[in-house]
Amino acid sequence: MTSHESDVPRVVPVWRVREFHDEDLDRAIRLLEESHDTEAEPVVSLAEVVAAVRGSQPALVAEVGAEIVAAIVSTISGERAWILRLAIAAEWRHRGIGSALLMHLERRLIGHGVRRFSALLPAGEVGTAAFTNSGFVARQGVVLFERLAPLEPAEMSLLERLGGQVLNPGRWLAVAGMDGEKHLIESRVVLPLERSDEAARFGVLPPRAIVLFGPPGTGKTTFAKAVASRLGWPFVEIFPSRLAADSPGGLAAALRETFAQLESLERLVLFIDEVEEIAPARHGQAFSPVHAVTNELLKLLPIFREGDQRLLVCATNSVRSLDAAFLRPGRFDYIIPIGPPDAKAREAMWTRFLPPAAARIDVAALVMASESFTPADIEFAGRKAAQAAFERFVGTHRDGADVTVTTEDYLEAIAKTRPTLTSAMVDAFNADIESFARL
- The 10s digit of each residue's pLDDT in 135-182 is 999 888 888 887 777 777 888 888 888 888 888 888 898 888 888 999
Q: In whole angstroms, how far apart are CA 174 and each of 179, 248, 299? A: 12, 40, 36
Alpha-carbon torsion 228, 229, 233, 239, what sign?
Answer: positive
Mean pLDDT of 256-276: 91
Mean pLDDT of 256-285: 86
Three-state SS at 112? coil
Over pLDDT 70: what percentage of the chain? 92
Q: Does residue 402 carry a pLDDT above 70?
A: no
Q: In whole angstroms, how far apart are CA 399 and each of 218, 358, 402? A: 43, 21, 9
Q: Provide the pLDDT for residue 359.
A: 67
Q: Does residue 1 carry a pLDDT above 50?
A: no
List residues bridging with 310 in a β-sheet: 268
Q: Provide the pLDDT for residue 408.
A: 92
Alpha-carbon torsion 338, 340, 342, 343, what sign?
Answer: positive
Fold of 343-420: Helicase, Ruva Protein; domain 3 (1.10.8)
**Where in the chain is CATH 3.40.630.30?**
3-133
Over pLDDT 90: what percentage of the chain? 48
**Where in the chain is CATH 3.40.50.300?**
153-340
Mean pLDDT of 224-239: 93
Mean pLDDT of 319-346: 91
Query: In CATH terms, is domain 3-133 a member of 3.40.50.170?
Result: no
**Where in the chain is CATH 1.10.8.60?**
343-420
Q: Name the nearest CA neighbour of 28 among 58, 66, 64, 68.
A: 68
List residues bridging with 67 in a β-sheet: 64
Contact 327, 437 (CB under 8 A): no
- Per the rule left: phi > 0, alpha: psi between -120 and 50, beta: everything else, 187 is alpha
pLDDT in tens, 40-54: 888 888 889 999 999
Q: What is the mean pLDDT of the chain?
A: 87
What CATH number belongs to 153-340? 3.40.50.300
Amino acid letter, 415? A
**pTM (two decimals):** 0.73
Q: In whole angstroms, how far apart are CA 30 and each of 27, 33, 34, 94? A: 5, 5, 6, 20
